[in-house]
Structure formats: structure tokens, C-alpha cells
Amino acid sequence: MPHDHPHPHNRPLSDVELRVKALESILTEKELIDPEAIDLIVETYETKIGPRNGARVVARAWSDPAYKERLLSDATAAISELGFSGVQGEDMVVVENTDEVHNIVVCTLCSCYPWPTLGLPPVWYKAAPYRAKVVKDPRGVLEEFGVTLPEDTEIRVWDSNAELRYLVLPKRPDGTDGMTEEQLAELVTRDAMIGTDVLTAQ
């Protein structure tokens, strides 16, 4: 992408990233694309259409038991109540993390992902190593993300596809009873809604 925004500056670009930059340069020279417009689209998905939407869904579910019930029974409709719907989010299922069960989401075929609630998928979500390993060794993958769960916690892996996309409802952190819905939303991370993070009160 323009200006290498998604890339850490301490590593060389991958072959795919180099090809994208070369293609972008050619299209820009031919005046077929506007780099500023692309930057705006990326920024919109990363900061506006992105994980903040999903965080609002999670915070509402933590704050409103009736909404949580609707979310778990008909996620698509409940998410639409907050104004989040559209392409890549037409058919949603929300799975809840509990003391007994931890959920994690993957797309083993490609990178199906709920764009209206989570924005652009992270690079690692689309990478073959994550897609292959999380099915075989989800506990090991979680440990790579710094998440160590009790041995008796059941880990369920949900495979998103073109017809159905999943969102994890993380456990509400302890010590957050007095927080407003807006404050709760600030605690929610994108990775927690994929299942590769466990939230704590900050």
C-alpha cells in the first residue's frame, strides 16, 4: 500500500508486497488510480469501518443482556441494529468465550473475514501457516500470540467461508462493572474478536 503503512520498517518487503508496489506505481503513472484515494480507503477500513465497529458490538452485548441474547441467536440482525452490515458481513455467527470454552476463527480456504465489523484482515490471518496450524494445534497457535489457557479449557476452531463469517464475543474482563459502554469498547481488540487475544481491564 502507499507509503508502506502496513509494513514494519525493520524488515524488507515480501515478494507479494513488492509486486503490489510495482503494480501500484504503473497504475499511478498511467493515471488509472489515485494513491491518495487508496490511502483514504485503507484508512477508512482500518480506523472507521474496522475493529471499532466490532468493539461496539461486543460492548453492547456486555452491557445489554437482551442485545447479547439477540446477538447469539441471530448475529446478522443484531449487528445490523448498530448499523454494521454489507458485503463480507451478510451472514454472521457470533460465538461466545466462557470460562470453559475459548473460540478462535480461521478461514482455511482463503481469507474470508467480516469486513463490516473487523475491517481489513490482518496479514497473519491470510497467511498459510496460521490457516494450517490453527486447525491442527490451536493451543500452540494461541501460545504464539501470548495466550496460555488452562488445560481444561476447550478450544473450538470455527472455519469462516464465503457464506458464513464468525465473530468471537470475548469474555468481559474482571473489574469492569462500573465502565460505560464506550469505555468497554476501548478494551476490545481486533484479535480478541478473532480469538487470538484475551482481554484484561487496562
Name the domain count of the chain.
Answer: 1
* pLDDT value at residue 85: 84
User: Per the domain annotation, does 18 fall within a domain?
Assistant: no
* pLDDT value at residue 8: 44
**107 carries an active-site annotation:** yes
**73 carries an active-site annotation:** no
Report the Cα 112 to chain-centroid distance in Å.
Answer: 11
Each as own residue / partner, the long-range contacts of residues 127-131 (CB below 8 Å, 24 or more positions apart, any chain) are: 130/106, 131/106, 131/107
For the residues 164-182, what does the mean pLDDT come to? 96
Domain span holding position 186: 49-194
**160 carries an active-site annotation:** no
User: Per the domain annotation, does 21 fall within a domain?
Assistant: no
- The closest alpha carbon to 168, from 158, 154, 153, 176, belongs to 158
Confidence label for 49 from pLDDT (cuts 50, 70 and 90): low
* pLDDT value at residue 38: 78
User: Per the domain annotation, does 33 fall within a domain?
Assistant: no
User: Per the domain annotation, does 28 fall within a domain?
Assistant: no
Out of 14, 25, 73, 110, pick the active-site residue.
110
Pairing mode of beta strands 165-169, 92-96: parallel
* pLDDT value at residue 60: 98
> Could you give the CA distance from residue 86 to residue 92 in angstroms, rounded to a whole number?
11
What CATH number does the domain containing 90 carry? 3.90.330.10
> pLDDT, tens digit, for every residue of 156-172?
999 999 889 999 999 99
For the residues 10-33, what does the mean pLDDT come to? 78
User: Per the domain annotation, does 199 fall within a domain?
Assistant: no
User: Per the domain annotation, does 76 fall within a domain?
Assistant: yes
User: Per the domain annotation, does 155 fall within a domain?
Assistant: yes
* pLDDT value at residue 70: 98
**Which region among 77-86, 126-135, 177-186 has the lowest average model confidence (pLDDT)?**
77-86
* pLDDT value at residue 3: 41
